[in-house]
Amino acid sequence: MEATYWQDLWVSGQTGFHEGQVNRMLNKYYHLLDLKVGERVLIPLCGKSMDITHFLSHGQHVVGVELYEGAVVALFESLKVSPRIHQQGAFRVYQAPNLTIFVGDFFAVSAQLLGRIDAVYDRAALVALPEPMRTDYTKHLVSLTKAAKQLLICFEYEQGLMSGPPFAVSPEMVERYYGAHYHIELQERTVLEGGLKEVSHAFESVWLLSS
């Protein structure tokens, strides 16, 4: 899956993956991350997610990585904040109080560039990637964050019924990707009312990953 695929979706407005409000599962399970004021949360493939506002409202510093710069511009416009913008290596960096977004390829991000990460919130990254990119992504994420605690939201459905994204991520896949580094706890598995795109029967699952 090339970078141009996602850029074309943003440009054409095919952004059904973007929620215009804070995700209900984040509202429900945020407390499990046990975050303190000033701690740093990584949101990979963050887009212009309103979930960012949830962490900001609790005093955390959000670090995002996003491929499409237009989404980052829209994010800051929605926040009514004028960012400071500078170039850092291969990345354009947008900054405001408690918010840093790196525009570029997630796989090119280094731990040194990101700085300390206290937790990870993944609602739209893992499910956006096909195999083998998911394997590469999870390895890179664990390395970047030193296996920081993670709240992970996935979809489950019969992959043969839809090509994705979002892609199906089963419990066995979560274990395969993260089992060597985390204690994995399923918090909720619920039927998605109305299904998912052309799939009528799908589930949403919420996982807490802790070391």
pLDDT tens digit sequence for 66-124: 999 999 999 999 999 999 999 999 999 999 999 999 999 999 999 999 999 999 999 99
Q: Which three-class secondary structure state does DSSP give residue 187? A: strand
- Using alpha carbons only, give the angle 192, 197, 201 rounded to the nearest 5 degrees: 40
* Residue 66 marked as a ligand binder: yes
User: What's the angle, vertex CA 6, arms to CA 194 and CA 134, rounded to 5?
Assistant: 80
Dihedral sign from CA coordinates of 120, 71, 124, 102: negative
Per the domain annotation, does 14 fall within a domain? no
15 within domain boundaries: no
- Determine, yes or no, domain membership for 16: no
For 177-196, how does the pLDDT look when each residue is reduced to its tens digit (9 = 90+)? 999 999 999 999 999 988 88
What's the Cα-to-Cα distance from 116 to each of 31, 61, 146, 147, rounded to whole Å?
20, 11, 9, 12
Is residue 46 in a domain? yes
Annotated binding residue at 189? Answer: no
Element (H, E) at 22: none
Average of pLDDT values for 42-55?
A: 96
Residue 6 marked ligand-binding: no
> Does 113 map to a domain?
yes
Given a contact cutoff of 8 angstroms between Cβ atoms, the answer to whether 108 and 136 are in contact is: no
Domain that holds residue 188: 3-9+21-210
Quick check: is 183 in a domain?
Answer: yes
Phi-psi region of 13 (alpha: psi -120 to 50; beta: other; left: phi over 0): left
- Residue whose token pair is 């570029």: 104
pLDDT class for 10, splitting at 50, 70, 90?
Answer: very low
Stretch 145-173: mean pLDDT: 94
pTM of the predicted model as reported, rounded to 2 decimal places: 0.91
Please check whether residue 78 lies inside any domain of the structure: yes
Cis peptide before 165 (omega within 30 of 0): yes
* Domains identified in the chain, total number: 1
123 in a labelled binding site: yes
For residue 101, the domain's CATH number is: 3.40.50.150
Say which range, 4-8, 78-82, 126-130, 169-173, has the weakest mean pLDDT.
Answer: 4-8
